[in-house]
Amino acid sequence: MKKLSNNKLSVIGSVLYSCEGTRLRRDKRRKNNVYHWVIEFTNSDSNLIKLFVEFLKRVIKIDKPRLKGQLFIYNDLSKKNLELKWSKVSGIPLTNFNKTIVLKAKNTKYKPNPNGTFKVRYHSKEAFHKLDSLIKKILG
């Protein structure tokens, strides 16, 4: 993959998150409405996952050891092989993976992605605000 400038990577990362990222969530079950300051990006395209992780590292300047990954697969896929594949793609060690979610196929007519779907997760109020500000600056 070609190395992008930080400006281009900022635009790409902001657009990717705006399209496929998780929004700020509020937990109304708690007395004081706890907010979940987490950046989550989910996709099945390994190139987009690589780009987003690079964006988090270079532009948002995350604390890399705190970056987490999670895999979503159907029960007919190899959990171990796909965990290794996504660890290599994302640069996230298996020790930083949350539990892999194994789904049951609901529709036999639909052919699920053979690579599963991967979620990049980073908990940080500061990083969340930095990303949010960047998106507002770039996308308006």
pTM value surpassing 0.75: yes
**Per-residue pLDDT, 69:** 98
111 pLDDT more than 60: yes
Class of domain 6-139 (CATH, top level): alpha beta
> Which 3-state string (H, E, C) describes the chain?
CCCCCHHHHHHHHHHHHHHHECCCEEECCCCCCEEECEEEEEECCHHHHHHHHHHHHHHHCCCHHHCEEEEEEECCCCHHHHHHHHHHHHCCCHHHECCCEEECCCCCCCCCCCCCEEEEEEECHHHHHHHHHHHHHHHC
- pLDDT tens readout for residues 24-43: 666 666 666 656 689 999 99
* Sign of the CA dihedral with 50 first, then 54, 57, and 60 last: negative
CA-based nearest residue to 52, from 91, 87, 16, 89: 16
- pLDDT confidence band for 94 (50 / 70 / 90): very high
